[in-house]
A and B are shown apart, each in its own frame.
Chain A
Amino acid sequence: MESASHHSYRKGKNVLMQLVTLACALLTIIPLFLIFFHLLRSGFGSLNLAFFTHLPRPVGEPGGGMANAIVGTLVLLGLATVLGVPFGVFGGVYLAEYASRRVAWIIRFTADILNGVPSIIWGMAVYALVVLRMKGFSVLAGGIVLGMMMIPMVLRTTEEVLLLVPSGYREAALALGISRWRTVCSIIVRTALKAIVTGLLLSLARVAGETAPLLFTAFGNSVWSHHLSDPIAALPLQIFTFAIAPYDDWHRQAWAGALVLLLMITLINIVVRLLTRDRFAK
Protein backbone atom coordinates (compact mmCIF):
# COMPACT_ATOMS: atom_id res chain seq x y z
CA MET A 1 0.00 0.00 0.00
CA GLU A 2 0.98 3.52 -0.66
CA SER A 3 1.99 5.48 2.41
CA ALA A 4 -0.09 8.44 3.49
CA SER A 5 2.81 10.84 3.07
CA HIS A 6 3.50 9.68 -0.47
CA HIS A 7 -0.17 10.07 -1.23
CA SER A 8 -0.21 13.66 -0.03
CA TYR A 9 3.00 14.28 -1.99
CA ARG A 10 1.23 13.17 -5.15
CA LYS A 11 -1.81 15.26 -4.30
CA GLY A 12 0.41 18.24 -3.65
CA LYS A 13 2.21 17.81 -6.92
CA ASN A 14 -1.11 17.64 -8.70
CA VAL A 15 -2.17 20.98 -7.22
CA LEU A 16 1.23 22.48 -7.91
CA MET A 17 1.13 21.53 -11.58
CA GLN A 18 -2.35 22.93 -11.92
CA LEU A 19 -1.04 26.21 -10.56
CA VAL A 20 2.01 26.14 -12.82
CA THR A 21 -0.06 25.62 -15.96
CA LEU A 22 -2.51 28.27 -14.79
CA ALA A 23 0.44 30.65 -14.46
CA CYS A 24 1.47 29.75 -18.02
CA ALA A 25 -2.00 30.56 -19.26
CA LEU A 26 -2.03 33.88 -17.44
CA LEU A 27 1.41 34.84 -18.73
CA THR A 28 0.26 34.00 -22.24
CA ILE A 29 -2.75 36.27 -22.18
CA ILE A 30 -1.30 39.08 -20.08
CA PRO A 31 0.27 40.71 -23.19
CA LEU A 32 -3.18 40.77 -24.76
CA PHE A 33 -4.62 42.73 -21.85
CA LEU A 34 -1.62 45.04 -21.70
CA ILE A 35 -1.91 45.78 -25.42
CA PHE A 36 -5.63 46.52 -25.16
CA PHE A 37 -5.06 48.64 -22.08
CA HIS A 38 -2.36 50.79 -23.66
CA LEU A 39 -4.21 51.06 -26.94
CA LEU A 40 -7.28 52.34 -25.17
CA ARG A 41 -5.30 54.68 -22.95
CA SER A 42 -3.08 56.15 -25.63
CA GLY A 43 -5.33 55.80 -28.63
CA PHE A 44 -8.77 56.70 -27.39
CA GLY A 45 -7.86 60.31 -26.65
CA SER A 46 -6.71 60.88 -30.22
CA LEU A 47 -9.84 59.46 -31.75
CA ASN A 48 -12.18 62.11 -33.04
CA LEU A 49 -14.23 62.84 -36.07
CA ALA A 50 -11.24 64.35 -37.86
CA PHE A 51 -9.36 61.10 -37.48
CA PHE A 52 -11.94 59.35 -39.65
CA THR A 53 -12.54 62.19 -42.12
CA HIS A 54 -9.23 64.01 -42.64
CA LEU A 55 -6.05 63.24 -44.47
CA PRO A 56 -2.78 63.11 -42.53
CA ARG A 57 -1.16 66.51 -41.96
CA PRO A 58 2.54 67.26 -42.33
CA VAL A 59 4.69 67.34 -39.20
CA GLY A 60 4.03 70.32 -37.03
CA GLU A 61 0.51 70.95 -38.19
CA PRO A 62 -1.87 69.75 -35.53
CA GLY A 63 -4.90 67.62 -36.34
CA GLY A 64 -5.31 65.50 -39.37
CA GLY A 65 -6.49 61.93 -39.57
CA MET A 66 -6.19 58.64 -41.30
CA ALA A 67 -9.25 58.75 -43.52
CA ASN A 68 -7.29 57.70 -46.59
CA ALA A 69 -5.62 54.84 -44.73
CA ILE A 70 -8.93 53.50 -43.44
CA VAL A 71 -10.47 53.65 -46.88
CA GLY A 72 -7.26 52.25 -48.33
CA THR A 73 -7.38 49.22 -46.07
CA LEU A 74 -10.98 48.58 -47.06
CA VAL A 75 -10.17 48.96 -50.77
CA LEU A 76 -7.20 46.61 -50.50
CA LEU A 77 -9.26 44.05 -48.61
CA GLY A 78 -12.02 44.25 -51.21
CA LEU A 79 -9.56 43.83 -54.04
CA ALA A 80 -7.85 40.94 -52.25
CA THR A 81 -11.20 39.23 -51.74
CA VAL A 82 -12.12 39.58 -55.40
CA LEU A 83 -8.74 38.30 -56.55
CA GLY A 84 -8.05 35.60 -53.97
CA VAL A 85 -11.34 34.13 -52.86
CA PRO A 86 -12.36 32.41 -56.13
CA PHE A 87 -9.06 30.51 -56.13
CA GLY A 88 -9.42 29.60 -52.48
CA VAL A 89 -13.06 28.56 -52.51
CA PHE A 90 -13.06 26.61 -55.77
CA GLY A 91 -9.69 25.10 -54.96
CA GLY A 92 -11.17 23.95 -51.67
CA VAL A 93 -14.11 22.50 -53.57
CA TYR A 94 -11.69 20.52 -55.72
CA LEU A 95 -9.88 19.15 -52.67
CA ALA A 96 -13.04 18.15 -50.86
CA GLU A 97 -15.13 16.85 -53.74
CA TYR A 98 -12.88 15.65 -56.54
CA ALA A 99 -9.22 15.27 -55.68
CA SER A 100 -7.58 11.90 -55.42
CA ARG A 101 -5.93 11.15 -52.12
CA ARG A 102 -2.44 11.79 -53.43
CA VAL A 103 -3.23 15.03 -55.26
CA ALA A 104 -5.18 16.25 -52.23
CA TRP A 105 -2.23 15.51 -49.98
CA ILE A 106 0.17 17.45 -52.17
CA ILE A 107 -2.08 20.48 -52.51
CA ARG A 108 -2.92 20.53 -48.82
CA PHE A 109 0.73 20.22 -47.88
CA THR A 110 1.70 23.03 -50.24
CA ALA A 111 -1.08 25.25 -48.91
CA ASP A 112 0.06 24.66 -45.34
CA ILE A 113 3.62 25.55 -46.28
CA LEU A 114 2.42 28.67 -48.09
CA ASN A 115 0.57 29.68 -44.92
CA GLY A 116 3.95 29.63 -43.19
CA VAL A 117 5.80 31.71 -45.79
CA PRO A 118 6.70 35.03 -44.12
CA SER A 119 4.51 37.85 -45.30
CA ILE A 120 7.47 40.00 -46.27
CA ILE A 121 8.47 37.35 -48.82
CA TRP A 122 5.09 37.71 -50.48
CA GLY A 123 5.71 41.42 -50.68
CA MET A 124 9.07 40.92 -52.37
CA ALA A 125 7.67 38.46 -54.87
CA VAL A 126 4.84 40.79 -55.84
CA TYR A 127 7.31 43.66 -56.07
CA ALA A 128 9.28 41.68 -58.64
CA LEU A 129 6.15 40.41 -60.34
CA VAL A 130 3.94 43.49 -60.46
CA VAL A 131 5.65 46.64 -59.23
CA LEU A 132 8.73 46.29 -61.45
CA ARG A 133 6.58 45.47 -64.46
CA MET A 134 4.07 48.26 -63.87
CA LYS A 135 6.95 50.57 -62.98
CA GLY A 136 5.41 51.77 -59.77
CA PHE A 137 3.76 50.96 -56.46
CA SER A 138 0.03 50.49 -56.84
CA VAL A 139 -3.32 49.62 -55.36
CA LEU A 140 -3.31 46.64 -57.69
CA ALA A 141 -0.01 45.29 -56.35
CA GLY A 142 -1.27 45.67 -52.78
CA GLY A 143 -4.52 43.87 -53.59
CA ILE A 144 -2.68 41.11 -55.42
CA VAL A 145 -0.31 40.43 -52.56
CA LEU A 146 -3.07 40.26 -49.96
CA GLY A 147 -5.22 38.17 -52.31
CA MET A 148 -2.38 35.71 -52.86
CA MET A 149 -1.92 35.35 -49.11
CA MET A 150 -5.61 34.61 -48.69
CA ILE A 151 -5.65 31.77 -51.20
CA PRO A 152 -4.08 29.01 -49.10
CA MET A 153 -6.00 30.03 -45.98
CA VAL A 154 -9.38 30.12 -47.70
CA LEU A 155 -8.62 26.92 -49.57
CA ARG A 156 -7.91 24.99 -46.40
CA THR A 157 -10.90 26.26 -44.44
CA THR A 158 -13.23 25.69 -47.39
CA GLU A 159 -12.00 22.14 -47.80
CA GLU A 160 -12.42 21.45 -44.11
CA VAL A 161 -15.98 22.66 -43.86
CA LEU A 162 -17.03 20.90 -47.06
CA LEU A 163 -15.75 17.62 -45.67
CA LEU A 164 -17.99 18.20 -42.66
CA VAL A 165 -21.11 18.22 -44.83
CA PRO A 166 -22.72 14.81 -44.26
CA SER A 167 -22.55 12.59 -47.32
CA GLY A 168 -26.30 12.00 -46.99
CA TYR A 169 -26.91 15.35 -48.66
CA ARG A 170 -24.70 14.44 -51.60
CA GLU A 171 -26.58 11.17 -51.99
CA ALA A 172 -29.96 12.81 -51.68
CA ALA A 173 -29.12 15.35 -54.35
CA LEU A 174 -27.69 12.82 -56.77
CA ALA A 175 -30.68 10.54 -56.23
CA LEU A 176 -32.87 13.40 -57.40
CA GLY A 177 -31.07 13.25 -60.72
CA ILE A 178 -29.20 16.48 -60.10
CA SER A 179 -25.90 16.52 -61.95
CA ARG A 180 -22.74 16.38 -59.96
CA TRP A 181 -21.49 19.90 -60.47
CA ARG A 182 -24.91 21.30 -59.61
CA THR A 183 -24.98 19.11 -56.54
CA VAL A 184 -21.65 20.55 -55.49
CA CYS A 185 -22.53 24.18 -56.20
CA SER A 186 -26.14 24.34 -55.19
CA ILE A 187 -26.38 21.76 -52.43
CA ILE A 188 -23.00 21.09 -50.83
CA VAL A 189 -21.51 24.56 -51.03
CA ARG A 190 -24.82 26.09 -50.08
CA THR A 191 -25.09 23.85 -47.03
CA ALA A 192 -21.62 24.88 -45.92
CA LEU A 193 -21.89 28.48 -47.07
CA LYS A 194 -21.99 30.01 -43.63
CA ALA A 195 -18.90 28.14 -42.55
CA ILE A 196 -17.11 29.07 -45.79
CA VAL A 197 -17.91 32.73 -45.21
CA THR A 198 -16.62 32.35 -41.67
CA GLY A 199 -13.30 31.05 -42.94
CA LEU A 200 -13.19 33.88 -45.41
CA LEU A 201 -13.76 36.45 -42.68
CA LEU A 202 -10.98 34.93 -40.59
CA SER A 203 -8.54 35.16 -43.45
CA LEU A 204 -9.63 38.76 -44.07
CA ALA A 205 -9.00 39.52 -40.41
CA ARG A 206 -5.56 38.06 -40.78
CA VAL A 207 -4.50 39.99 -43.85
CA ALA A 208 -6.17 43.19 -42.63
CA GLY A 209 -3.31 43.73 -40.21
CA GLU A 210 -0.52 42.80 -42.60
CA THR A 211 2.09 45.49 -43.00
CA ALA A 212 5.22 43.86 -44.37
CA PRO A 213 3.76 42.78 -47.73
CA LEU A 214 2.39 46.27 -48.33
CA LEU A 215 5.66 48.10 -47.68
CA PHE A 216 6.78 47.82 -51.26
CA THR A 217 3.55 47.05 -53.08
CA ALA A 218 0.84 49.48 -51.93
CA PHE A 219 3.63 51.62 -50.45
CA GLY A 220 1.32 54.15 -48.82
CA ASN A 221 0.79 57.86 -49.36
CA SER A 222 -0.93 60.73 -47.63
CA VAL A 223 -3.47 61.68 -50.27
CA TRP A 224 -6.49 60.06 -51.85
CA SER A 225 -5.73 57.45 -54.51
CA HIS A 226 -7.86 57.50 -57.60
CA HIS A 227 -6.44 54.79 -59.83
CA LEU A 228 -5.51 51.17 -59.50
CA SER A 229 -2.02 52.17 -60.58
CA ASP A 230 -1.57 54.75 -57.80
CA PRO A 231 0.10 53.91 -54.50
CA ILE A 232 -2.41 53.67 -51.67
CA ALA A 233 -2.31 54.08 -47.91
CA ALA A 234 -3.36 51.38 -45.50
CA LEU A 235 -3.90 51.51 -41.74
CA PRO A 236 -1.06 49.13 -40.80
CA LEU A 237 1.37 50.98 -43.06
CA GLN A 238 0.35 54.31 -41.64
CA ILE A 239 0.72 53.01 -38.09
CA PHE A 240 4.21 51.79 -38.89
CA THR A 241 5.30 55.02 -40.56
CA PHE A 242 3.98 57.12 -37.70
CA ALA A 243 5.30 54.84 -34.97
CA ILE A 244 8.92 54.90 -36.09
CA ALA A 245 8.91 58.64 -36.73
CA PRO A 246 10.25 60.86 -33.96
CA TYR A 247 7.18 63.07 -33.50
CA ASP A 248 4.80 62.87 -30.55
CA ASP A 249 1.88 63.99 -32.66
CA TRP A 250 2.37 61.13 -35.03
CA HIS A 251 2.78 58.69 -32.17
CA ARG A 252 -0.62 59.67 -30.87
CA GLN A 253 -2.07 59.15 -34.33
CA ALA A 254 -0.35 55.78 -34.55
CA TRP A 255 -2.00 54.68 -31.30
CA ALA A 256 -5.37 55.83 -32.52
CA GLY A 257 -4.88 54.00 -35.82
CA ALA A 258 -3.83 50.87 -34.00
CA LEU A 259 -6.92 51.05 -31.83
CA VAL A 260 -9.18 51.35 -34.87
CA LEU A 261 -7.40 48.51 -36.66
CA LEU A 262 -7.53 46.21 -33.67
CA LEU A 263 -11.20 46.98 -33.07
CA MET A 264 -11.94 46.11 -36.70
CA ILE A 265 -10.10 42.81 -36.38
CA THR A 266 -11.60 41.98 -33.00
CA LEU A 267 -15.04 42.74 -34.36
CA ILE A 268 -14.52 40.28 -37.21
CA ASN A 269 -13.34 37.67 -34.72
CA ILE A 270 -16.40 38.15 -32.54
CA VAL A 271 -18.71 37.91 -35.54
CA VAL A 272 -16.95 34.70 -36.53
CA ARG A 273 -17.38 33.34 -33.05
CA LEU A 274 -21.10 34.08 -33.10
CA LEU A 275 -21.43 32.50 -36.55
CA THR A 276 -19.61 29.31 -35.62
CA ARG A 277 -21.54 28.75 -32.45
CA ASP A 278 -24.17 26.69 -34.26
CA ARG A 279 -22.18 25.28 -37.14
CA PHE A 280 -24.18 22.49 -38.74
CA ALA A 281 -26.95 22.50 -36.24
CA LYS A 282 -29.05 19.65 -37.51
Chain B
Amino acid sequence: MNASTIDFPVQMNRNESNAPGQNMQKPNSPEPEAHAIAPATAFQIGKLSVSFGAHTVLKDVSLDIKARSVTAIIGPSGCGKSTFLRSLNRMHELVPDARMTGTIRLFGENIYGPEIDPVVVRRRVGMVFQKSNPFPTMSISENVTVGLRLNGIRNKGILQERLEKSLKMAALWDEVKDRLNAASTSLSGGQQQRLCIARALAVEPEVILMDEPASALDPLATTKIEELILDLKKDFTIVIVTHNMQQAARISDQTAFFYLGELVEYAATRKIFTNPSVKQTEDYVTGRFG
Protein backbone atom coordinates (compact mmCIF):
# COMPACT_ATOMS: atom_id res chain seq x y z
CA MET B 1 0.00 0.00 0.00
CA ASN B 2 1.26 3.43 -0.74
CA ALA B 3 -0.25 6.84 -0.36
CA SER B 4 -2.09 6.76 -3.64
CA THR B 5 -4.14 3.75 -2.61
CA ILE B 6 -5.30 5.27 0.62
CA ASP B 7 -9.01 5.74 0.61
CA PHE B 8 -9.13 7.96 3.61
CA PRO B 9 -12.30 10.06 3.65
CA VAL B 10 -10.80 13.44 4.27
CA GLN B 11 -7.75 13.88 2.16
CA MET B 12 -5.56 16.84 2.50
CA ASN B 13 -5.55 19.48 -0.20
CA ARG B 14 -2.79 18.39 -2.41
CA ASN B 15 -0.97 20.96 -4.44
CA GLU B 16 0.54 18.39 -6.67
CA SER B 17 -0.21 14.96 -7.92
CA ASN B 18 -1.44 12.40 -5.43
CA ALA B 19 1.12 9.75 -6.11
CA PRO B 20 4.08 10.17 -3.83
CA GLY B 21 6.44 8.65 -6.35
CA GLN B 22 5.68 11.27 -8.93
CA ASN B 23 5.87 14.53 -7.13
CA MET B 24 9.56 14.77 -6.53
CA GLN B 25 10.70 18.25 -7.27
CA LYS B 26 13.90 18.45 -5.34
CA PRO B 27 17.14 18.21 -7.22
CA ASN B 28 18.44 15.57 -4.87
CA SER B 29 15.64 13.11 -5.53
CA PRO B 30 16.48 9.79 -7.15
CA GLU B 31 16.74 9.59 -10.90
CA PRO B 32 13.30 9.83 -12.50
CA GLU B 33 13.72 6.50 -14.28
CA ALA B 34 14.05 4.72 -10.97
CA HIS B 35 10.60 5.65 -9.66
CA ALA B 36 9.12 2.22 -9.75
CA ILE B 37 11.78 0.52 -7.76
CA ALA B 38 13.79 3.16 -5.91
CA PRO B 39 12.27 4.26 -2.60
CA ALA B 40 10.69 7.66 -2.91
CA THR B 41 11.34 10.44 -0.47
CA ALA B 42 8.70 10.76 2.22
CA PHE B 43 9.96 13.80 4.09
CA GLN B 44 12.13 16.56 2.80
CA ILE B 45 13.24 18.63 5.74
CA GLY B 46 15.02 21.89 5.15
CA LYS B 47 16.70 24.07 7.75
CA LEU B 48 14.35 23.00 10.51
CA SER B 49 14.80 24.86 13.77
CA VAL B 50 12.50 24.50 16.77
CA SER B 51 12.55 26.40 20.01
CA PHE B 52 10.44 26.37 23.13
CA GLY B 53 10.41 29.85 24.58
CA ALA B 54 14.00 31.02 24.70
CA HIS B 55 15.35 27.49 24.50
CA THR B 56 16.43 26.32 21.07
CA VAL B 57 16.03 22.57 20.73
CA LEU B 58 16.78 21.99 17.05
CA LYS B 59 19.13 23.98 14.85
CA ASP B 60 19.09 24.01 11.07
CA VAL B 61 18.35 20.36 10.51
CA SER B 62 18.11 19.29 6.88
CA LEU B 63 17.58 15.73 5.73
CA ASP B 64 15.44 13.56 3.48
CA ILE B 65 13.62 10.54 4.82
CA LYS B 66 13.02 7.67 2.44
CA ALA B 67 9.58 6.24 2.00
CA ARG B 68 8.93 2.66 2.98
CA SER B 69 12.03 2.25 4.98
CA VAL B 70 12.98 2.56 8.62
CA THR B 71 14.89 5.64 9.66
CA ALA B 72 16.33 5.64 13.16
CA ILE B 73 17.03 8.80 15.10
CA ILE B 74 19.70 8.35 17.75
CA GLY B 75 21.58 10.58 20.12
CA PRO B 76 22.04 11.29 23.81
CA SER B 77 19.06 12.51 25.81
CA GLY B 78 18.29 16.15 25.30
CA CYS B 79 19.68 16.14 21.76
CA GLY B 80 16.33 17.09 20.29
CA LYS B 81 15.51 13.75 18.69
CA SER B 82 12.06 13.57 20.22
CA THR B 83 11.28 17.15 19.21
CA PHE B 84 12.43 16.36 15.71
CA LEU B 85 10.07 13.42 15.54
CA ARG B 86 7.16 15.48 16.85
CA SER B 87 7.76 18.27 14.37
CA LEU B 88 7.09 15.71 11.61
CA ASN B 89 3.40 15.58 12.54
CA ARG B 90 3.16 18.92 14.28
CA MET B 91 2.74 17.36 17.70
CA HIS B 92 5.36 19.70 19.18
CA GLU B 93 2.82 22.48 18.75
CA LEU B 94 1.02 21.19 21.84
CA VAL B 95 3.79 22.66 23.96
CA PRO B 96 3.17 26.31 24.79
CA ASP B 97 5.62 28.76 23.23
CA ALA B 98 6.76 26.33 20.55
CA ARG B 99 8.23 28.06 17.50
CA MET B 100 9.61 26.57 14.34
CA THR B 101 11.31 27.79 11.19
CA GLY B 102 12.29 25.90 8.08
CA THR B 103 10.35 23.58 5.82
CA ILE B 104 9.01 20.09 6.09
CA ARG B 105 7.53 18.57 2.97
CA LEU B 106 5.63 15.31 3.06
CA PHE B 107 5.65 13.73 -0.40
CA GLY B 108 6.32 17.16 -1.78
CA GLU B 109 3.72 19.03 0.17
CA ASN B 110 4.54 21.62 2.78
CA ILE B 111 2.88 20.34 5.95
CA TYR B 112 3.24 23.74 7.56
CA GLY B 113 1.52 25.46 4.66
CA PRO B 114 -0.97 28.17 5.52
CA GLU B 115 -3.97 26.15 4.40
CA ILE B 116 -2.92 22.95 6.11
CA ASP B 117 -4.85 21.69 9.11
CA PRO B 118 -2.53 19.97 11.59
CA VAL B 119 -5.30 17.48 12.21
CA VAL B 120 -5.05 16.28 8.62
CA VAL B 121 -1.26 16.11 8.84
CA ARG B 122 -1.61 13.82 11.84
CA ARG B 123 -3.95 11.54 9.96
CA ARG B 124 -1.24 11.02 7.38
CA VAL B 125 1.56 10.82 9.92
CA GLY B 126 0.62 8.60 12.84
CA MET B 127 2.50 8.23 16.06
CA VAL B 128 3.29 5.61 18.68
CA PHE B 129 4.51 6.78 22.05
CA GLN B 130 7.08 5.67 24.57
CA LYS B 131 4.48 4.80 27.13
CA SER B 132 1.66 2.72 25.75
CA ASN B 133 -1.52 4.72 26.11
CA PRO B 134 -4.60 2.79 25.03
CA PHE B 135 -7.72 4.70 26.05
CA PRO B 136 -8.62 3.10 29.38
CA THR B 137 -12.39 3.36 29.13
CA MET B 138 -12.52 1.69 25.72
CA SER B 139 -12.40 -1.94 24.74
CA ILE B 140 -9.73 -3.39 22.48
CA SER B 141 -11.83 -3.01 19.35
CA GLU B 142 -13.02 0.47 20.29
CA ASN B 143 -9.42 1.54 20.72
CA VAL B 144 -8.49 0.38 17.25
CA THR B 145 -11.45 1.93 15.51
CA VAL B 146 -11.72 5.15 17.50
CA GLY B 147 -9.72 7.17 14.99
CA LEU B 148 -12.03 6.07 12.19
CA ARG B 149 -15.22 6.51 14.13
CA LEU B 150 -14.35 9.99 15.31
CA ASN B 151 -13.57 10.92 11.75
CA GLY B 152 -17.04 9.96 10.66
CA ILE B 153 -16.79 6.36 9.49
CA ARG B 154 -19.89 4.59 10.72
CA ASN B 155 -20.09 1.66 8.32
CA LYS B 156 -19.86 -1.48 10.47
CA GLY B 157 -18.36 -3.51 7.66
CA ILE B 158 -15.52 -1.10 7.04
CA LEU B 159 -14.84 -0.76 10.74
CA GLN B 160 -14.78 -4.52 11.19
CA GLU B 161 -12.48 -4.95 8.22
CA ARG B 162 -10.07 -2.26 9.39
CA LEU B 163 -10.13 -3.64 12.91
CA GLU B 164 -9.07 -7.06 11.76
CA LYS B 165 -6.56 -5.75 9.26
CA SER B 166 -4.92 -3.38 11.71
CA LEU B 167 -4.71 -5.95 14.47
CA LYS B 168 -3.24 -8.45 12.03
CA MET B 169 -0.67 -5.94 10.82
CA ALA B 170 0.20 -5.20 14.43
CA ALA B 171 0.60 -8.96 15.04
CA LEU B 172 -1.99 -8.84 17.78
CA TRP B 173 -4.98 -10.43 16.07
CA ASP B 174 -4.35 -14.00 17.17
CA GLU B 175 -3.92 -12.97 20.76
CA VAL B 176 -7.07 -10.88 21.05
CA LYS B 177 -9.49 -12.09 18.41
CA ASP B 178 -11.53 -13.93 21.03
CA ARG B 179 -11.83 -10.97 23.36
CA LEU B 180 -12.16 -7.91 21.21
CA ASN B 181 -14.62 -6.42 23.64
CA ALA B 182 -12.38 -6.88 26.66
CA ALA B 183 -10.96 -3.81 28.37
CA SER B 184 -7.79 -2.55 26.76
CA THR B 185 -6.24 -2.38 30.19
CA SER B 186 -6.47 -6.15 30.51
CA LEU B 187 -3.62 -6.57 28.01
CA SER B 188 0.03 -6.93 28.95
CA GLY B 189 2.44 -4.04 28.44
CA GLY B 190 3.77 -5.36 25.15
CA GLN B 191 0.27 -6.15 23.90
CA GLN B 192 -0.88 -2.67 24.85
CA GLN B 193 1.92 -1.15 22.82
CA ARG B 194 0.99 -3.30 19.81
CA LEU B 195 -2.61 -2.22 20.34
CA CYS B 196 -1.42 1.38 20.10
CA ILE B 197 0.36 0.50 16.88
CA ALA B 198 -2.81 -1.09 15.54
CA ARG B 199 -4.74 2.01 16.56
CA ALA B 200 -2.30 4.17 14.61
CA LEU B 201 -2.43 1.81 11.61
CA ALA B 202 -6.21 1.79 11.50
CA VAL B 203 -6.46 5.33 10.16
CA GLU B 204 -4.12 4.22 7.35
CA PRO B 205 -1.37 6.76 7.71
CA GLU B 206 1.51 7.01 5.27
CA VAL B 207 4.14 7.46 7.92
CA ILE B 208 4.39 6.11 11.45
CA LEU B 209 6.52 7.93 13.98
CA MET B 210 7.70 5.90 16.93
CA ASP B 211 9.07 7.54 20.03
CA GLU B 212 11.11 4.88 21.85
CA PRO B 213 8.24 2.44 21.45
CA ALA B 214 9.97 -0.44 23.22
CA SER B 215 11.79 1.33 25.99
CA ALA B 216 9.24 0.36 28.62
CA LEU B 217 9.00 -3.28 27.51
CA ASP B 218 10.73 -6.51 28.44
CA PRO B 219 13.16 -8.11 25.93
CA LEU B 220 10.63 -10.58 24.58
CA ALA B 221 8.02 -7.92 23.92
CA THR B 222 10.73 -5.71 22.42
CA THR B 223 11.67 -8.43 19.95
CA LYS B 224 8.05 -8.68 18.87
CA ILE B 225 7.84 -4.93 18.28
CA GLU B 226 11.07 -4.99 16.28
CA GLU B 227 9.84 -7.83 14.08
CA LEU B 228 6.67 -5.89 13.60
CA ILE B 229 8.55 -2.78 12.51
CA LEU B 230 10.52 -4.75 9.91
CA ASP B 231 7.26 -6.15 8.66
CA LEU B 232 5.50 -2.80 8.52
CA LYS B 233 8.16 -1.05 6.47
CA LYS B 234 6.87 -2.87 3.40
CA ASP B 235 3.84 -0.61 3.49
CA PHE B 236 4.77 2.35 5.65
CA THR B 237 7.49 4.86 6.17
CA ILE B 238 8.76 4.49 9.70
CA VAL B 239 10.76 6.99 11.69
CA ILE B 240 11.84 5.71 15.08
CA VAL B 241 13.58 7.45 17.93
CA THR B 242 15.58 5.09 20.07
CA HIS B 243 18.29 5.31 22.66
CA ASN B 244 19.11 1.67 22.12
CA MET B 245 21.84 1.51 19.51
CA GLN B 246 21.60 -2.23 18.95
CA GLN B 247 17.97 -1.68 18.17
CA ALA B 248 18.79 1.05 15.67
CA ALA B 249 21.38 -1.20 14.06
CA ARG B 250 18.99 -4.15 13.89
CA ILE B 251 15.95 -2.54 12.40
CA SER B 252 16.81 0.65 10.55
CA ASP B 253 17.94 1.33 7.01
CA GLN B 254 19.16 4.85 7.64
CA THR B 255 20.33 6.39 10.87
CA ALA B 256 20.53 10.03 11.85
CA PHE B 257 22.72 10.99 14.76
CA PHE B 258 21.68 14.13 16.62
CA TYR B 259 23.78 15.95 19.14
CA LEU B 260 22.85 19.13 21.01
CA GLY B 261 20.07 19.97 18.61
CA GLU B 262 22.12 19.50 15.48
CA LEU B 263 22.18 16.75 12.91
CA VAL B 264 25.73 15.45 13.12
CA GLU B 265 25.58 12.64 10.61
CA TYR B 266 22.97 10.96 8.47
CA ALA B 267 23.75 7.92 6.39
CA ALA B 268 22.93 4.29 5.79
CA THR B 269 22.74 2.45 9.09
CA ARG B 270 25.58 0.10 8.20
CA LYS B 271 27.84 3.03 7.51
CA ILE B 272 26.94 4.83 10.74
CA PHE B 273 27.70 1.78 12.82
CA THR B 274 30.76 0.52 10.99
CA ASN B 275 32.41 3.46 9.37
CA PRO B 276 31.05 6.82 10.49
CA SER B 277 32.57 9.90 8.94
CA VAL B 278 32.34 12.08 12.01
CA LYS B 279 34.32 11.48 15.16
CA GLN B 280 31.36 12.36 17.46
CA THR B 281 29.23 9.71 15.81
CA GLU B 282 31.90 7.12 16.28
CA ASP B 283 32.33 8.04 19.92
CA TYR B 284 28.61 7.75 20.47
CA VAL B 285 27.97 4.47 18.66
CA THR B 286 30.94 2.86 20.32
CA GLY B 287 29.69 3.97 23.70
CA ARG B 288 32.41 6.44 24.53
CA PHE B 289 29.84 9.02 25.53
CA GLY B 290 26.11 9.47 25.87
Contacts and interface: CB of A to CB of B under 8 A. Distances in A.
Q: Do chains A and B touch in the complex (CB under 8 A)?
A: yes
Interface of A: 166, 168-180, 182, 186-187, 190-191, 193-194, 280-282
**Interface pairs A-B: 5 shortest CB-CB:** A177-B123, A175-B127, A176-B147, A168-B133, A177-B122
B136 A191 contact: yes
A83 B218 CA distance: 51
B136 A175 contact: no
Given A175-B89, A175-B91, A180 B119 contact: yes
Given A177-B147, A182-B150, A172 B133 contact: yes
B135 interface: yes
Contacts of B59: none
Given A177-B122, A191-B137, A193-B137, A171 B147 contact: no
A178 B119 contact: yes
B159 to A, nearest CB: 14
Interface string B128-150: 01010101111000000011001
Contacts of A172: 127, 129, 133, 135, 196, 199
Interface in B198-224: 199-200, 203, 205, 209
Contacts of B122: 174-177
A175 B126 contact: yes
Contacts of A190: 135, 137-138
B200 A175 contact: yes
A263 B133 CA distance: 41
B185 interface: yes
B89 to A, nearest CB: 7
B150 A186 contact: yes
Q: Which of A166, A171, A172, A194 is the most central at the interface, judged by chain B CB atoms within 10 Å of its CB?
A: A172
A281 B138 CA distance: 13
Contacts of A187: 135, 146
A176 B203 contact: yes
B136 A178 contact: no
B91 A171 contact: yes
B25 to A, nearest CB: 26
B241 to A, nearest CB: 14
Given A175-B126, A177-B120, A191 B135 contact: yes
Q: How large is the interface on B (under 10, 10 to 19, 20 to 34, 35 or more residues)?
A: 20 to 34
Q: What is the interface of chain A mostly: helix, strand, loop, or mixed?
A: helix
Q: Which of A169, A173, A177 is the most central at the interface, judged by chain B CB atoms within 10 Å of its CB?
A: A177
Contacts of A169: 133, 135-136
9 contacts: A169-B135, A173-B150, A174-B122, A177-B119, A177-B121, A178-B147, A187-B146, A280-B136, A281-B185
Given A171-B91, A176-B150, A281-B185, 18 more contacts: A169-B136, A170-B94, A171-B133, A172-B133, A172-B135, A173-B135, A174-B119, A176-B122, A176-B123, A176-B203, A177-B119, A177-B121, A177-B122, A177-B124, A180-B119, A187-B135, A193-B137, A194-B137
B146 A176 contact: yes
Contacts of B185: 281-282
B133 A166 contact: yes
A171 to B, nearest CB: 6
A174 B147 contact: no
A182 B203 CA distance: 16
Contacts of B129: 168, 171-172, 175
B151 interface: yes
A168 B130 CA distance: 10
A156 B120 CA distance: 33
Contacts of A193: 137
A168 B121 CA distance: 19
Nearest to A194: B137
A55 to B, nearest CB: 44
Contacts of B119: 174, 177-180
A177 B94 contact: no
A282 B136 contact: yes
Given A170-B94, A172-B129, A172-B196, A177 B203 contact: yes
A66 to B, nearest CB: 40
Contacts of A174: 91, 94, 119, 122
Nearest to A188: B135
